[in-house]
Amino acid sequence: MREQRVMETTASPNPSQEIESLDAREDYARIAFLLSYQLFPLTIEKALEYALFKTYASPRISKLLAATGEFTKRPQKRYDDTVLVLAEITENGHDSGRGQASYARLNAMHGRFNINNDDFLYTLGTFIFEPIRALKLYGPRPMTPHEEDAWFQSYLRLGRGMGIQDLPTDLQAFHTWYKAYEKEHFRLAKTNRIVADSTVEVLFDMLRVPSVLRPFSHRVLVALMEPHVAKAFGYDAPSKPLRAAVSAMMRLRRTIAALLPENTSLRLQTQRRLRSYPNGYLIERLGTFAATPP
């Protein structure tokens, strides 16, 4: 494997050409790095945000998240911690010192709870399939089959690092299982709405959406969701004209993005100025911890 290349976190002079020259099964980490942080940074960033948001449509997941209180007490920190702990792995390499420290932090957080393996698998699936779907619908171009394979391999490596059992070996078979999970587990529940509403408020705060515009902005956001996801949150279905307008806006974005040259610089998540950590952070202090006894 040549994962050392990811640890360099260097931009490529021609990322698409470099990706095509690499082996999807050996160089998956470098390919995923270039896709995430150079070729399609904004589309993949938003797709991964939606991926996590989508998991809240499963009451089994939202019930656990709501019970921690993190989404009602510290939603911004919860968001920032999730971004950072995953980015430390994908930016620096799974086997790097920072990557291993992030795995330790991630597994320590999850290890405090009795989480169903299927819920882990589904969440991993959202990281795989939502960026693929977003690029197909809204990106400058879809991922190629070669890129999809490398993306899949990259997240299988994440799954192994998290100790997830019964990891799939076939992308299409996993997608079939993924859709079946949604059909079985996505149900309307109070905890779904609690966690979703808190997350939406974080998004609006980050975008500095004025209070007067938030109701309309919320309807636009719902129009971007898959109908079965919005239904599981109890959100009213958007009107047909609004859904058509939002769809047209996203198609226009795709057309414009396709005309632009490939990025020559990187957009690294760990270099963003996050609200929770204006003066920097330590990996070992990210996330949640068991309550300290008095």
pTM: 0.93
Structure tokens at 55: 């998991």
Query: Could you tell me the residue range of the domain that residue 179 belongs to?
Result: 13-261
Q: Is 93 among the domain residues?
A: yes
Burial-class residue 111 by CB neighbours within 10 Å (0-12, 13-18, 19+).
exposed
Phi-psi region for residue 209, left (φ > 0), alpha (ψ -120 to 50) or beta? Answer: beta
Q: Token pair 């209180």 is at which residue?
A: 69
6: pLDDT strictly greater than 50: no
Q: 54-70 pLDDT, tens per residue? A: 999 999 999 999 988 87
Q: 11-37 pLDDT, tens per residue? A: 999 999 999 999 999 999 999 999 999
pLDDT band at 291 (very low <50, low <70, confident <90, very high): low
Q: Is 5 among the domain residues?
A: no
C-alpha 252/C-alpha 211 separation (Å) is 27
Q: Is 284 among the domain residues?
A: no
Q: 162-201 pLDDT, tens per residue? A: 999 999 999 999 999 999 999 999 999 999 999 999 999 9
Number of CB atoms found within 10 A of residue 42's CB: 11
Q: What are the Cα distances from residue 281, in Å, to 57, 77, 84, 96, 277? A: 31, 12, 9, 18, 6
29, 6 contact by CB (below 8 A): yes
Q: Is 173 among the domain residues?
A: yes
Q: Which residues contact 280 (CB under 8 A, 6 or more apart)?
A: none
Q: Is 87 among the domain residues?
A: yes
CA dihedral (133, 236, 76, 205) positive or negative? positive
Q: 212-232 pLDDT, tens per residue? A: 999 999 999 999 999 999 999
Q: Is 288 among the domain residues?
A: no
Q: 89-137 pLDDT, tens per residue? A: 999 999 999 999 999 999 999 988 889 999 999 999 999 999 999 999 9
Q: Is 287 among the domain residues?
A: no
Give me the number of domains the chain comprises.
1
Q: Is 277 among the domain residues?
A: no
pLDDT value, residue 243: 95
Average pLDDT over every residue of 268-291: 88
